[in-house]
A and B are shown apart, each in its own frame.
Chain A
Amino acid sequence: MTLITDPTLHDRLMALAERQAAAGEVRGPAAADPVNVPMIRHWADAMGDANPLYTDAEAAAASVHGGIVAPPAMIQVWTMPGVNRRAGQRPTPVDEVLAMLDGNGYTGVVATNCEQTYHRYLRPGERPVPATRFAGLTGPKRTALGEGYFVTWNVTWYCEEEPVAEMLFRVLKFRPRTGRAASGTQDGRAREQEAGARRDSGAGEGPAGARPDSGAEEAPAGARPPYPLRPAVNEDTAFFWEGAARGELRIQKCADCGQLRHPPGPMCPSCRSAARTYAVASGQGEVYSYVVHHHPPVPGRQAPFVVAVVELPEGVRIVGNVVDCPPSEVGIGMPLRVTYRQMDDELVLPMWIPRES
């Protein structure tokens, strides 16, 4: 089957995506029913979760919670609209994007990411309100399933004005291939999850149209997605990124006075010379300071992740990720050595791994 592609489609999709993103957070209707024990009981039963906190009033009362609480993973359950959407329900910012993709042959759907964060337990009687924020549209990508677009959105559930849970959800909307079984490999970090049977009111999840048995061969075509974020580069900084692509950690060196400098710039602050060269660093360093990022989610990154200010023996500092090391083992003074990570077909980032001192 050959689909005639409307040459303006991509631009229209991106323009729509930008508008939807600009709309910010859009609240959906509150849960149809308040958090209640019968639904908790059915869910816990189906999931095989025998935790008495969820169903046994007496045991729950004796716990730190002082009463029954809902399983945090039920958060989507409370605001799912069921098979038929309620009349007059306000659309989420995601719906129009999915509809445009559907209408242009991207009828397949596979959920690729679902990351939930629970801020606290819900109690019977509470009625969470979902608020959906359109986070991004990237593509077209050639994948084993067919050409498609990744659609990402965030949902925050509120009780009163308090955010109680958050979710990042991403689907691949694709044009199903014909004649060949879909196969491929998926980014190991992406947790595969089948999309809900029908759209969730708050989350706007797409209908499940395909098995999530394969994923994306990252092969971007057309517009470049926003993530991984790439550095802005100009004539003062290009040498650094070209070096990273070749596996060299380049530090700007004044061609006149020899001073090393990072981050680089067009003029030597010591001697005013604009003549520059670079030194290739030894690739050793140690942690000068670091953070462990947990929240909010950074697209393209799996939290927790570590970012460090690394001090080089050459006498400059540089920022980078510490990888291949549990965050809890990172500390100031930890010896590191540089490594390089290919972020996509173009971007290579220097990163840091522990080194025997």
Chain B
Amino acid sequence: MSSLSGRTAVAGIGATEFSKKSGRSELRLAAEAVHAALDDAGLSPADVDGMVTYTQDANQEIAVAREVGIGDLSFFSRVHYGGGAACGTVLHAAMAVATGVAGTVVCYRAFNERSGRRFGQPDARLGGEPSSQGLEMSWHVPYGLMTPAAWVAMFARRYMHAYGATSEDFGRVAVAMRRHAATNPAAWFHGRPITLEEHQASRWIVEPLHLLDCCQESDGAVALVVTSAERARDLRRSPAVIRAAAQGSGAGQMMMTSYYRDDMTGLPEMGVVGRRLWEQAGLGPSDVQAAILYDHFTPFVLTQLEELGFCGRGEARDYVAGGGIEIDGRLPVNPHGGQLGEAYIHGMNGIAEAVRQIRGTSVNQVRDVRNVLVTAGTGVPTSGLVLSAG
């Protein structure tokens, strides 16, 4: 079997501004981001023949194609499971390009998640129909367990119990992300770092999570252009080669509420992704110079460090202590500020940052970056990437 590794690349990235109220339709945001990504790559809409987005995206591929002036499509696909789809869109695009199904594929995510439908709010439709997902949710939502913060808090409490982690350990993740965002002009929290004391003093959302453990809610869009590595090398920008791409789901998997597996302190689905990525890339944790870890809630950043092999079980709190995941630490995580600091674009803005780190063009550039690990939504079936220079 031929490997996907190294055959495709991200050739362009584009985004709208990140705000709390875009004042524009989601379709317009998508079209703007796709145009920006194509301009960045030095390609035209006519070069695109494939499109991938999330099942949760409200903008159909054909609608975005119409607005942007993209003509014939030979490939279109959607990736499921909320923010777990982020790197999965790139995987699907890379598979299409590597197999010749498409030549150039655009991945996008666009929403007015703050001014429109807010994921953090209780939604009476969560239970609803007796679909498999509705039934799964029905063991939780009638008890008022119906927000992402609450779903994650349940894991966080058990993790604290098992490993002696504290709210301050979670807080150090938030402090690091806000420190990074403070020097990123594109970040919503540009110029607004926080202290651990401020984290501790922020109000409870769902104990054990404080407000500052929760990522922000944002309006905006991000798009990526995926084409063959060979073609990407002839384009305007240095390619970010897709060294590895994987999706993962674990045994007993649910959407955010996998409370019935033997252990509640890990993210087995991320373990699946991590093992696949390292194997495919022929790399290990010590070979990446920066990581983009999905940070919708701080506790799962710790869990990811463990699942991906950066440290042992229960050791992440020591790993992040003393600035371990800050820009000058042992593993710079989310130099753009992540979703806690830059914007919540369902993980797509993190992939764009990984590309900038590979190119050497980030405002918070890590030195000598050759490989960057990227992950997608946590607590759900998820995905990941290793992007490399070259």
Interface residues of A (CB under 8 A from B): 24-25, 119, 136, 161, 226-234, 236-237, 262-263, 288-301, 304-305, 307, 309, 316-321, 327, 332, 343, 347, 349, 351
Contact = CB atoms under 8 A, between A and B. Distances in A.
A227 B124 contact: yes
Contact of A229 (B20, B124, B208, B259): B124
Given A161-B20, A295-B204, A316-B260, A233 B138 contact: yes
A291 B115 contact: no
Nearest to A117: B203
B207 interface: yes
Interface in B132-161: 134-147, 150, 153-155, 157-158, 161
Contacts of A299: 122, 124
A180 B205 CA distance: 45
A231 B129 CA distance: 9
A299 B123 CA distance: 10
Contacts of A262: 260
B143 A307 contact: yes
Contact of A295 (B21, B137, B206): B206
Contact of B144 (A290, A298, A318): A298
B80 to A, nearest CB: 19
A347 B142 contact: yes
Contacts of A332: 157-158, 161
Chain B interface extent, by class: 35 or more
Dominant SS at the B interface? loop
Interface of B: 20-21, 115-117, 120-122, 124, 126-131, 134-147, 150, 153-155, 157-158, 161, 203-208, 257, 259-260, 264
A298 B154 contact: no
B14 to A, nearest CB: 24
Given A24-B115, A232-B129, A289 B161 contact: yes
B207 A292 contact: yes
B144 A263 contact: no
A291 B145 contact: yes
Contacts of B115: 24-25
Given A289-B157, A292-B206, 19 more contacts: A161-B21, A230-B142, A232-B131, A232-B138, A263-B136, A263-B260, A288-B158, A289-B161, A290-B154, A294-B206, A295-B205, A298-B122, A304-B207, A307-B144, A307-B145, A307-B150, A309-B158, A309-B259, A349-B143
The 6 A-B pairs with the shortest beta carbon distances in the complex, nearest first, are A231-B138, A292-B207, A226-B124, A234-B130, A289-B158, A232-B134
B259 A296 contact: no
